[in-house]
Structure 1
Amino acid sequence: MALDLLAGPFDIVADGAVVTDPSTSAAALYDDDIGFYAFSGIKGGLLVAQLDGCAYLRAAQRRANAFALDLQNPGEYLIHDSFMESGLYRFNKRAATFGDLVIESEASGYVSNVQVRTPDRYLHIAETNVQFKPLTLVGSWSYEASLSGAAISGGATVSRTRDADVLAVAFSNGTVVFYDWVKKAQVGGVAFIGTNAGAWYSPRHDIFVALVGAQLKVLASSPRPSTISNPVAVTPLAKGRASFIKARLLGSNSEPCPDEVVDWALSGPGALELTQSVTDSDGWAWNTYVAPPAAGGTPSITAEVRF
């Protein structure tokens, strides 16, 4: 689904100056409690930005560190020791500081690619493959599941959704898919948000926040309607009979648009049961046409949506 742009793009502005070097992808995050986190070398540390781009320095820092979702502690994150990638720490998102050590090794690259910690394993999204390692991080990344439904390429950012078992996975080419880490399977539909340097779902506001270039965009979680089909009769029209009528609303990527209001109109004989109806989960709007008991011309039924 091609998602509606609700607001933006907004420059990220701190101390009256536009931030041109925000960290991207796994080295940035959006959190409903705090806002958008990114590292800026120009500003010398971690910035927190509001959805309108207004930002301030939260903590001094020398380099961009990758983050990981911590599903063992709802609403919290881990942070990589990104210089050697040899350790993972709890991240204090309120103070923007390193917390307790979670795991480390003397080996360089020991925690590389960790994006999610679940209660029983770590996860990494390698384009169309979901990979896992045990909580000891011993061994190589192993295959867990496949992601599909649209073209997938580029790096992935992972965020929580309103379902505690489901993750939103946004790829830099603009494709968003949803992964149930408990069932170890892809679920739901596919969304399209456009090329980005990171995108995160907001469970509180039911929106996506995307970093595009060095700017923030706010997008709806529902698809933008593009076309509606001509109404068709599910059952043949017959004198004195009621027949179901339907029309389908699709987005620009031919994806269904649910929960949209459709206006119905009739010219000619007979009557429509509804003047408006709401599209179902597959994008169909339904109505009932009642034909007169005697012949009286051909009805013309139209369905419209205010895009």
Structure 2
Amino acid sequence: MMSRSHGWVAALLSVLMPGLGHLYAGRALRAIAAFILLQVLGFGLVYLTLVASTAPLRVVLIVLLLAGFLAVVLDAARVARRDTSEPRRRVQRWYVLLPVCLGVGFIVQPWIFGLTKRHIVEAHRFPGGSMAPTILPGDYLLSSPRAPNPVTRGELVVYQASGQRNIHRVVGLPGDTISMRDFQFIVNGTLAHEPYAHAEDGSGSLTDPQFEWQRGHLRDRTDAAGYQATYGTWGPLVVPDGAYFVLGDDRANSFDSRYRGFIATDALVGRPVWIYFSRDPDTGIIRWSRIGLGVGA
């Protein structure tokens, strides 16, 4: 039985899964090549965005990735539209395409995504405003799945706590003596220079039972009995070895180390790098000016 493949079907199948459109067009080797090529291109270009120095360069790399994807889709449509007198091949039958699609979709792609997340890049969306204005609600970020080594003061990190990923800024390193007075952060006796930090409400006098952990880490343990930490005034605390103290940039609106305690080194799972998409959660407007912005420091 003679049959002609439809270009639009091949294009649609390629959108759903790169290479599937070529398989539908009867080009099995081309399908495998398209799938592998796009995976390698994707890994390479996304990795390059993590080391790119500017927002425009990151955007260019993503455009190249989208162009590669579009080229695969168009090529599948072109191949399928060719007139041919050949009978439909076995690989073009639905009963072959379906198990291939299911196998790649439920086995191969999850394995690739897991590999990417562990070794190349991880995507995040943090709805809270604790890191504003560095990270706003509605920002979507890419992070490197490798924690910074060594960790430097002022660096943003992704860490695991309470069963979820969090992003805050490292302000206290092992051995540091840290404190806060009316939201002014002090490290080793010196007022820290923090142009990114702000506190705009009157929550500085609020206290919370979750601050009680701080008593065991006071620089002067003789003050522990009468110690009362508030949201904006606490310490001095000594950061233990193998741990860090993190704060949100919005010091009046952040569930950070003031509550959680110190963050162990092995809880650090990555570092945020740049914003790949941003939409205002209240208006739904895309914030184009934020796309491509770096947030690593």
* TM-score range normalised by the length of the shorter chain: under 0.3
| TM score, norm. by length of structure 1 | 0.24
Give the structure, 1 or 2, with the largest relative contact order (CA under 8 Å, sep 6 or more): 2
Higher share of residues assigned strand: 1
TM-score (norm 2): 0.25
Query: Bigger radius of gyration, 1 or 2?
Result: 2
Which structure has greater helix proportion? 2
